Amino acid sequence: MAVTAKMVKELREKTGAGMMDCKKALTETNGDMEQAIDYLREKGISKAAKKADRIAAEGSAYVAVDGNQAVLLEMNCETDFVTKNDQFKELLADLGSHLLSQKPADVEEALQQSLNGDGETLESFINSKIAKIGEKLSLRRFTIFEKTDADAFGAYIHMGGNIGVVTVVEGTTDEAFAKDIAMHIAAVNPRYVSRDAVNAEEVEKEREVLKTQALNEGKPENIVEKMVEGRLGKFFEEICLLEQSFVKDPDQKVKKLVADKGATVKGFVRYEVGEGMEKREENFAEEVMNQVKK
C-alpha cells in the first residue's frame, strides 16, 4: 500500500513522532495506522517524541577508557533519581563503548551511526531507553582523547556523576597521579593549563581593569604598573591549572608537582552536568572541594 503525506501527517499527530519515523513505520506496516502506532511505541519513538520539549538538565558525566583512548561524555535526564537506575548506567557504558569504537566527529554524527552493526541507530537506541526509563534522555556532548604508552589518563567522576574530568599527562604512566590532577581540576575549575594558553586579548583586558581599579583606589601612577603585574599573578592563579595551589597540599603549586614528576599536562576537559542549561542551582565545585579535603 502506498504511503501518502496525509497518512504520515495523521500518524505524526497521533504519536508526536518525526516525519521520517512515521513514514518508516507506515511502510513497515503496509500502511496500517494502528500497527504503525504500535511499531513506534515498540521502538520507543512515540514516547520519546512526546517528551522532547521537556527539560533534561540533570544526568551524569561518564568516562570510558580503552587502552590509549578515552572518552568523556555527558548524558542528560530529567531527574537525578534516574542516574541511579541500572538501565541508565548501562546506557552510559553502551554510549562510551560506541563513541570509542566509532569516533564520531560530533553528537549529530554519533546519533545517526549504527549501533553494534545491526542497523539500529544510536538515536533509536536512546529512544528505546526513554520508553523504558520514562524520562527524556539526551546525549549532550563528548570528547575523545588519545595518548601514548608513555603517558597517563587522569579520569575523575565526582560522586553522583555531577562533574567529570579527563586530563592527559605526558611523561608519566602514573595513573593515580594523573587522577589527582583531574580531581584538582574538578574542584577548582581552571580554564587553562598554563599562562601561555590564555588569550592575549583576555590578558590585556584584565590588565586594563586592574589598572583602572588601582587608579580608582588613589594609588600613585608610578607604582600602578607594578601593582597591576602583581595582581595579574592572582588572575592567572584563578584560571590556570599550573599556577594553582594543589587542593590536596595547598603549600605546593600544581606546576611543581608536575615538574617533579618529569611530566607535562597536555590538556584537560571538565564537564559539569547541566552547566549553561536551565536547572536548579547547586554548587558542585564546592562539593568536590569538600570531598578531596576529607
Question: How would residue 292 be classed by pLDDT, with cut points 50, 70 and 90?
Answer: low
Return the exposure string of 254-268: e unless at least 16 CB atoms fall within 10 Å of the residue's CB, then b.
Answer: bbebbeebebbbeeb
Question: Above 60 in pLDDT, residue 294?
Answer: no
Residue 94 DSSP code: H
Kindly report, residue by residue over 69-91, the tens digit of the pLDDT: 999 999 999 988 999 999 999 99
Structure pTM? 0.76
Nearest to 145 by CA among 72, 198, 87, 218: 72
- 222 and 244 part of one domain: no
Kindly report, residue by residue over 197-220, the tens digit of the pLDDT: 999 999 999 989 998 888 888 888
Let me know: does 70 contact 39? Beta carbons within 8 Å: no
Q: How far is CA 85 from the centre of its chain?
A: 20
Return the CATH number at 94. 3.30.479.20
- 164 and 274 part of one domain: yes
Poorest-pLDDT segment among 47-51, 173-177, 179-183, 261-265: 47-51
Among residues 146, 161, 179, which one ends one of the domains?
146
- DSSP H or E run through 212: helix 200-216
Number of helices (H) and strands (E), helices first, in the chain?
A: 12, 8
Question: How would residue 49 be classed by pLDDT, with cut points 50, 70 and 90?
Answer: low
- 225 and 281 part of one domain: no
* Region of residue 246 (phi > 0: left; psi between -120 and 50: alpha; otherwise: beta): beta
Percent of the chain with pLDDT over 90: 59
Query: CA 247, CA 57: separation in Å to the nearest integer?
Result: 28
Let me know: does 19 contact 10? Beta carbons within 8 Å: no
- 261 and 155 part of one domain: yes
Domain, as residue range, for 194: 149-198+240-294
Question: Above 90 in pLDDT, residue 250?
Answer: yes
Return the CATH number at 24. 1.10.8.10
Let me know: does 254 contact 237? Beta carbons within 8 Å: no
- 173 and 275 part of one domain: yes
User: Coil, strand or helix: which one is 217?
Assistant: coil
- 176 and 271 part of one domain: yes
Let me know: does 81 contact 88? Beta carbons within 8 Å: no
Among residues 146, 168, 189, which one ends one of the domains?
146
Mean pLDDT, rounded, of the chain: 89
- 154 and 142 part of one domain: no
Q: Which three cell numbers stand for residue 127?
A: 529512544
Question: Above 70 in pLDDT, residue 137?
Answer: yes
- 96 and 173 part of one domain: no
Among residues 121, 146, 171, which one ends one of the domains?
146
User: Coil, strand or helix: which one is 263?
Assistant: coil
- 119 and 155 part of one domain: no
Interhelix angle 122-133/33-43, rounded to 10 degrees, is 90
Question: How would residue 93 be classed by pLDDT, with cut points 50, 70 and 90?
Answer: very high
Provide the domain count of the chain.
Answer: 4
Letter for the amino acid at 177?
Answer: F
- 81 and 130 part of one domain: yes
- 290 and 157 part of one domain: yes
- 167 and 289 part of one domain: yes
